[in-house]
Each structure stands twice: as C-alpha cells, then as structure tokens.
Amino acid sequence: MPFPSSDGNSAELRHWLTLVHTRGLGPKLAHKLLRGFGSADAILSASSSKLASIGLPAKVIDALSVADQQRIDDDLNWQNEGDDRFIIALTSPLYPLLLKEIADPPMVLYVRGDPEVLQTPQLAVVGSRKPTHSAEKHAFEFARELAGYGITITSGLAHGVDGSAHRGALQADGFTVAVTATGLDRVYPAQHQSLAREIAASGAIVSEFPIGTNPLPAYFPRRNRIITGLSYGTLVVEAALKSGTLTTAGHATEQSREVFAIPGNIDNPQARGCHALLRAGATLVESSDDILTQLAPLLPGSLILTENNRSETPIPADTPATVAATDTAVPPLTGNAQETRPSKTPEHADSGSTDVGLLEVFEAEPLSLDEIVERSGRDIVTVTNLTLDLELDGKVISVAGGKYVKK
C-alpha cells in the first residue's frame, strides 16, 4: 500500500513531543492530564495552579517548561530523513484505533515503514527467546499460514519466537509489525538489522521511545503492552513460568483481548507457561483454524477467512534458524546499533565430555535418532554411537518411543 503523507513539523506535533520529553511524565500521568485538559496544547498552556489541581507533581510541572528541545528536534529531524518515517500523535488519523482502546496508549508512535499497516487486523505471536526447535517451527508456520489469510503478525523483533514469527509472515508475502523497546534509529538485537529492513520495507517497525533511546530492562514490559494493544489476540508459542512472555499475555488479558497457547511436552520447562495459561482459560491451539474460529467475529468484515486468502508460497527447506544466519548478508538499517553479547563456553565443555557438538542438539523435548541426524548433519551410524556414549556418560537419557532428551 502507498505511504500516506506525514503529520509534518506542525506546532501540535511539537507539543506532543514536549509531553514525551518531559521528565517524570509517563503515559498514565499524561492521560490523566489529557482527560483534564483535552489536548497537548491546552496542557502546555495551563497554569501551574491548574496543573497542580489535578494532581500533577510539582517537579513534573517544572519539567514541562524545560523539556529537552534538542531531543525534540532530533525526533523531527529523524522523521524528515525519509518518506517512510513517521511520528504519529494520539490525535492523528494514522494512530491505530485498537491501540487507543487500552488504558495507557502511547502519546506518540514512531513508525518506520507504512503506518497504514497498523490499522490492519493483527495477531501478536510471542514466546521464548531461546525456544526449542519445534517452537521455532510452530512460530514460523503459524505466522506464515495466518499471514496468508490476511492477518498481520505482530511481535517484538527479539531472538527466538519473535524472529521466527516475523520471518513466517514475510515468507507468505504478508504484513508484519515489529514493536521495539528502543528508538528507531537503532535495532536491538543488532543481529536482526536485516530482518528489520525487510519488515520496514513491507510492514512497519513501531516504538513509543524517542530517537536515541537505548534498550533498558524496564522498557520491554512497556513495549509488550503495545504488542498486545495493537492485536485482536495473542498467541503464546512457548514460555517458561517466569518470563516476559507471560507478562505479555497478562497485558492481553487486561486489555480484554484473546489469548491463545500451544501446549508442549510436560518434560519441557519452557512449556509450563503455556500450560498455566491454558489452565487459566486461554484457548488451546493445535492449528490456525483454532485461532481463526475465535477471531473471525472480531475481525473487519473485509477480511474473508477462506482458503483463497492463503499464500501459495511453499515453506522453504531452510529452518528459521538457517534463515536467521543469513541476516548479515544485507546492509544494516543503521550504523550505530550495537549489542554486546558475552562469549559462551559450552555447558558441557569439560575434559570428560564425549561430544559437545552433538550434545547441543538435544533439548528438553524428546528427539528421535532421525531428528538428531537431521539437526546435526551427521550420518546415522555416527549419531547412534555418539548418542550411546552420551547416554553412558549420563548426559542424555532415553525415553519412550526410542527418543532421547538432554538430562
């Protein structure tokens, strides 16, 4: 779809950015002001006594008059650097309607790509940053199939399930939205720069954080409420009991949005979050039909959920992990995105380890010898012998059905 015109450098937009850059003025407090005064301009024109009368702290009142004008200029300059860059205020017609319904929608959205994609019906797909192989596969295939039906796939651009979901939607030539916890002048994680470029070219990257913002732990829960707020429902592919993914599902519940969960192996700790959601009333998902059935009454009438919507592009032989390895082949979206990652020493790289490389193939979920052969790239004889050695060393155990799991 063609890009719409930008909101530009209007005085109104600068007023909204002044609120964004006022220290101590978060979304909840800003919305309290908006309910009291009606607009960003009215807030900035109000007297200190009127601001104090609705409960605005004195330090925030003082901060309103000294908002960082240089950072506001940085935001506006970023928007002017390309015709696919937008800063969308809450009152703009480009602001996604569904997101406005949550308790604390962002005052502005920074968007790279096509903001009209934000108005399309969306499903959030979230899960572990270190998923099992089957979870990566499920994220990719569910996203691909649902995107083929015309549903936009929304996620957080993180490693693991997020990345696989974005790639699945792109494989179907569908729309995908990435919501980030940084300013849009950088990409986190840095390894996803080429993926970010693909998303911006055919969908949208979104953030509520100003240009120049680095990722901080407190920003990710704020990002997650936007992921669910943009979406009619949230699919949890895989999650541990204590994880940011369950926090995201909690946002969806608070926003009265549908929650879906894929059940997993009971021996897999990363499946326990999904099982907890299912016990709490989430919809159990075994196929895309389980999602479409629930969402159909909520979706716009123009989205006809029939087989004719399905993309006929075949699923590639490459796994999501293989696709991820090609990210560095595309020039980076920005030149200043950095991510420091500690070097990893394999957990079992001790002098008594039989075969560290093969051991890394095993997971908490049972794998057959054929699956181990496929993932390791080794022949069946070598895999059989090394697996037996690992079992004798106590590093893997055999389970029912002739399968093996990491101990």
One domain for residues 307 and 401 = no
In a domain, 339, yes or no: no
Print pLDDT tens along the chain (407 aa): 444 444 444 888 999 999 999 999 988 888 889 888 988 999 999 999 999 998 889 999 999 988 899 999 999 999 999 999 999 999 999 999 999 999 999 999 999 999 999 999 999 999 999 999 999 999 999 999 999 999 999 999 999 999 999 999 999 999 999 999 999 999 999 999 999 999 999 999 999 999 999 999 999 999 999 999 999 999 999 999 988 899 999 999 999 999 999 999 988 999 999 999 999 999 999 999 999 999 888 877 655 454 444 443 333 334 343 333 333 333 333 333 223 223 323 333 333 344 657 888 888 788 888 788 888 888 776 777 788 778 777 888 877 767 888 87
Evaluate whether residue 243 is within a structural domain: yes
pLDDT in tens, 396-405: 887 776 788 8
Q: How far apart are CA 231 and CA 98, in angstroms?
A: 7
Claim to verify: residue 277 and residue 321 sit in the same structural domain: yes
pTM of the prediction? 0.75
Query: Encoding tokens for residue 143?
Result: 């996203």
Q: What is the pLDDT of residues 273-321, one digit of tens each?
A: 999 999 999 999 999 999 999 988 887 765 545 444 444 333 333 434 3
In a domain, 168, yes or no: yes
Task: Tell whether 279 is covered by a domain.
Answer: yes
Q: Tell me: do 370 and 324 sit in the same domain.
A: no
How many Å apart are CA 230 and CA 100, to the nearest integer?
9
Which contacts of 47-53 are long-range, i.e. CB under 8 A and separated by 24 or more positions? Answer: none
Q: What is the DSSP string of 160-210?
A: THHHHHHHHHHHTT--EEEE-SS-TTS-SSGGGHHHHHHHHHHSEEEESSP
Q: How far apart are CA 315 and CA 145, in angstroms?
A: 10
Q: Does any domain span residue 107?
A: no
- CATH code, domain carrying 388: 1.10.10.10
- Is 79 found in the same domain as 154? no
Q: How many domains does the chain have?
A: 3
Among the candidates 329, 344, 373, a domain finishes at 329
Residue that terminates a domain, selected from 65, 84, 103: 84
Query: Domain residues for 365?
Result: 356-406
Q: Which residues pair with 177 in a beta bridge?
A: 154, 204
- Residue at 98 is within a domain: no
